[in-house]
Amino acid sequence: MIHYTCDRCHKLIETDVEMRYVVRIEMKAADEPHFGEGDEENDHLLELQETLERMEDAPDEFDDPVDPRRRFDLCVDCFREYQKNPLGLEPQLHIGFSEN
């Protein structure tokens, strides 16, 4: 029998009694073209050629040493917390002032 443990709280997840959630995260650099004013003056083929030459000269610069995919098993409680704040950001303190 396969045993699952929550990757957040380390609690044993009994799959015959409770739900197990799998969260998959994929990370990659955003490679978006930069279009704007004067763009028609740019030589895109020349830019591509320069990028390819840089890749040949320094291939390690373009390799991401970190595995771009992550997989996590979460219990019900941890999944609910993850849904509320997937990036784990600190909650912003909201101070309410009366209208005096």
**Per-residue pLDDT reduced to its tens digit, 27-60:** 877 766 655 555 556 677 888 888 788 777 765 5
35 versus 11: the higher-pLDDT residue is 11
Residue 5 confidence class, pLDDT cut points 50, 70, 90: very high
18 versus 48: the higher-pLDDT residue is 18
12 versus 91: the higher-pLDDT residue is 12
**Per-residue pLDDT reduced to its tens digit, 49-98:** 887 887 777 655 555 556 788 999 999 999 999 999 998 888 777 677 77
- Domain boundaries along the sequence of the chain: 4-28+39-84
d(CA 32, CA 96): 40
d(CA 5, CA 90): 26
Helix (H) or strand (E) holding 13: strand 12-13
pLDDT at 47: 82
What does DSSP assign to residue 66?
S
Indicate the pTM of the whole model. 0.56
pLDDT at 19: 95
